[in-house]
A and B are shown apart, each in its own frame.
Chain A
C-alpha cells in the first residue's frame, strides 16, 4: 500500500491564533521503501506521523489529503480510522512508556491489536505477541512484566513489536532510537530492513541522522513544517544542497565528522498564524514567525519568503518574499531560491607569480557559502598568496575569480569598496596589521571610518563596543584607549577579528590567525572563531600549516603543494584516508612522528612532473615527467599517479 500525503497543512488552534505545524507537506510512502523524515525538534515531524494516524488533538485544524492506496483517509472519522489502524497503518510512538497502559502486562498489550483488530483468539494472540516480542530481542521472562518494570529501551522495543504485530502495510516509526543505545539500535534497523524487504512502506521520523542515512531509501528534511530538501540518504552528510541540511549535518555528531560540532546560527522559531479578514476559515497568509523568548537579535522574522532565511548563510533580499517552491536540483528536491548551496567564491585557473617566481600555478577552487575551507601545506606552497587573491587583496596574473556569482575583477574595477565590505581578512601577524599609533578603538573603528559608517564618534563607539563584546573583549572606555602593544597576543588577535567583522562581511579569509599564539590561547581564539562563524553564517577560507588544527575546524580541506592543490575534499575523508602521499606526510608530521625526508635529486623549479615526486616514497617513473591532474577519487579530488583508482 502506498501512503500519500498531499499538501497537508496542520494548525494547532488556540483562540484566534494558532501554531502552523505543517505547511503544505507532500510526501509519498511507497511499498518496499523507507522514507526518513529528519529535522530539528519542532519541525513538525511527529505531527505528520500523528496526522497520518488520525491522532491529532481536537484543536488541530487539518487541511490537505492523506491517501492510503489512493483512498482518502477521513482522519476525523474515528470508526474509519480504527479500521485501518494497526492492520494497515501503525505507528511506534515516541516516549515509550507513556503510550503503554501501566496496569497491563506488556505481552497482553502487544496481543491487544491481534484480538481486537485481527479477530484472533486470546491464546493464539498471546503466542503471536510472545513471538513478536522475542523477535525484537525481549526474552520470554520479560513478557509478563508491567511497563514500569522494563527499561526505557525495552519499552521502546515492546512498542516496536506491538506496531508490527498485525503486519501493517505502512509503518511509522517516531524517534524509535532516541531511547536506545547503539547496540539496541541494531534491532530497530533489522525491523526496518525486514519490513522493507517484505514490501512494507516505512516512515522513519528521527533526528538521528546517521541512523536515517543507513536505513532509509529516501529522505526529506523538514523545517518549521516545510520540506526544505528531499534527497538520497547518502548525500545527506556528504553532499547536501540546502543550507539547512548542511547546517543540520554539521550539528550532528557523526562518527566520520572530525570537525568540532557547529550548530546552526540563531534559534528555531515556531510559526504563529492569525485569523483576520478570513473567509470560510481560510487562514491569512500573513503568518508571523514568532521567536520563543526574545533572545534572538534579529527580532521577528518576516512573514513571507523562505522560512530559513534568518539562519541561512546565503540569504539574499529576494529570499524574504513570495513562497519558495520545491525544485528539482541535481536529483534532490530543494526549496531554495538560489537552487541550493551556492559557491560564494570560485577561482578558475588562478595563477600568480612574484617577479617570475611562481607562487600559485593554476588553481581551481570553490568555496561554498557557509563552509570553512582549510588551506593546508608547508611554507612557500602559495597558501597565503591564494588566500589573499581570493580576498581581493592581490590580483592574479591569469585566471578568473567569482564572488557570489559575479566576476570579481569587474566588481573591483567598478566598486571595490562594496566588495571589500563583504570580505574580512585576518592576517598572520596581528600586531603588525594594526598601526601601532591606533588605540583599540581606532583599530576596530578603522573599517567604519574608511566606509563612512557611523555618523559620529558615539555611533561608531556603539558599533565598536558591540563587535568587541562579540569577540569577548572588554568594552569599557579604558580598554578602548589601550594600544595594541599593551595587550597580549590573544587579545590583539581578537581585536583584529573584531576589525574584520565590524562591517559584517560574509566571507572571511584568515591567514594563520593563530600560529603566533600559544596552544591555550589558540584554543580559545579558535572556539571563538567557530562560534562566530556559526552565529554570523560566515564562509571562511582558513589558511594554516597545521593540518591538526584544520581537522578540528574545517568542513573541507585543500592540500597545497608548490602552488597547486594536490588533494581537495571533505575533512573527514582526508583525515581518515589521505590519498596523496604529501597529505600523508603532513598528517604523519602533524602527529609528531619523525618523518625522514627523502632527499630527491631535484626539489627545485617548476619541473614537468609532480612537485612531490623527489620526496615521494611511492614514486612512479612517470611522476617525474608527467604532472598528475586533480581527479575525483573516493569522495575527493587527488592529483597523484600512484594513488589513482586501482587499474
Chain B
C-alpha cells in the first residue's frame, strides 16, 4: 500500500487535520523549550492581563498562562496517544482473534467486551483516581481497558466478513498461512478502522483527561487543560475569559478536531475505492 502524496495533499480534510496535528505535536514535543517561563514559578503578579512579557497573562497563582498551556497540551496529547494506542492494540487483537478463530474464543472475548461496555468508564476512572491517586499513565491504560470493546466489535465484524471474502478464501486455498493472511489481507484491509478507532479513543481519552483534571482528580501541580479551565472558571466574573479560559478550551477543541480530520482524510486516501481515479481504465 502506498500513499499518493499529491493526492493526499489535495484533500482539505487531511491538510487541515495534518496542520493541526503537526502544530499540536510540535507543541507537545517542544513545549518545555518553547515555554517562556517555568510554569510552576509563582513569582509573577497574579491575575495580570496579557502584556509583552506574559502573552496570555498570569493566573491567580502568579504563573505564566502561556507556559502552563504549553505543558498542559503536552500532557493531554501524551495521555490521549497512550490511551488511544493501548485501546487500539487491545481492540484489534481481541477483534481479530474473535473474528478469525470464532467459537469459544469469540464468545469469551465478546462477552467480556459486553461487560466492559456496560461499566461506565468515567465512574471507574473517577473512583480509581480518587482512591489510589495513580500516575496519569496508569489512568490512561485503565481507560484503554474500558475503551477497546467498541474497536474490537468493529474489527471482529470486519474480520468475519473478510474471512468469507473471496480474496481471503483464494489466498487460503493457495495455501497461505495464518500469518500471511493477517499481514497481507486482514491488517491492511482494516487500516481505516484503526484510524477511526484510534481517533475516537484518543479523542475520548483527551477529553477524559481534561475532565478528570477539571474535577481535580490529578495531582494539582500537574499541568492540564482541564485543570486550567477549572481554575479559570473560578474567576469567570472577571475579564479573564479571553486570555485564560479561552486558550485551553480552544486548544482542547482544536486538538480533537485535528485528530478527527486527519483520520477522515487518511481514510479517504487509504481506501483505493474512495479515491478519484486518475487516467483511463486499461
Contacts and interface: CB of A to CB of B under 8 A. Distances in A.
A421 B173 CA distance: 10
Nearest to A434: B167
Contact of A451 (B166, B168, B169, B175): B175
Interface in B151-170: 165-170
B173 A391 contact: yes
Given A447-B174, A486-B279, 12 more contacts: A393-B169, A425-B173, A429-B166, A433-B166, A436-B167, A446-B174, A450-B171, A474-B282, A479-B282, A482-B282, A488-B281, A491-B282
A146 interface: no
B180 interface: yes
B166 A417 contact: no
A420 B272 contact: no
B282 to A, nearest CB: 5
A488 B282 CA distance: 6
Contacts of B166: 427, 429, 432-433
Nearest to B185: A435
Interface centre among B168, B171, B273 (most CB of A within 10 A): B171
Contacts of B279: 486
B170 A427 contact: yes
Nearest to A443: B167
Given A432-B165, A437-B272, A485-B273, A450 B281 contact: no
Given A433-B167, A486-B281, A420 B175 contact: yes
A473 to B, nearest CB: 9
Contacts of B176: 450
A140 B204 CA distance: 109
Interface in A441-494: 446-447, 449-451, 474, 479, 482-483, 485-488, 491
Given A392-B173, A435-B167, A483 B281 contact: no
Nearest to B181: A450
A416 interface: yes
B282 A432 contact: no
A427 B173 CA distance: 12
The 10 closest A-B pairs by CB, nearest first: A417-B175, A420-B175, A432-B166, A435-B167, A393-B173, A450-B176, A433-B166, A433-B170, A487-B282, A450-B174
Interface in B30-50: none
15 contacts: A420-B174, A425-B173, A427-B170, A429-B166, A433-B170, A435-B167, A435-B184, A437-B188, A446-B171, A449-B180, A450-B175, A451-B175, A482-B282, A485-B273, A488-B281
Interface string A534-568: 00000000000000000000000000000000000
Contacts of A482: 282
Interface of B: 1, 165-171, 173-177, 180, 184-185, 188-189, 272-273, 277, 279, 281-282
Interface centre among A433, A435, A451 (most CB of B within 10 A): A435
B189 to A, nearest CB: 6
Contacts of A417: 175
A279 B207 CA distance: 98
A489 to B, nearest CB: 10
A280 B170 CA distance: 62
A434 B281 CA distance: 17
Nearest to B275: A483
Nearest to A435: B167
A285 B149 CA distance: 75
Contacts of B277: 485-486
Contacts of A450: 171, 174-177, 180
Contacts of A449: 180, 184
Contact of A416 (B165, B169, B175, B184): B175
A465 B169 CA distance: 25
Nearest to B277: A486
Contact of B273 (A416, A421, A429, A436): A436
Contacts of B170: 425, 427, 433-434
Contact of B189 (A420, A437, A447): A437
B52 to A, nearest CB: 54
Nearest to A503: B174
A392 B172 CA distance: 11
Contacts of B184: 435, 446, 449
A487 B281 contact: yes
Interface centre among B165, B171, B174, B273 (most CB of A within 10 A): B174
Contacts of A479: 282
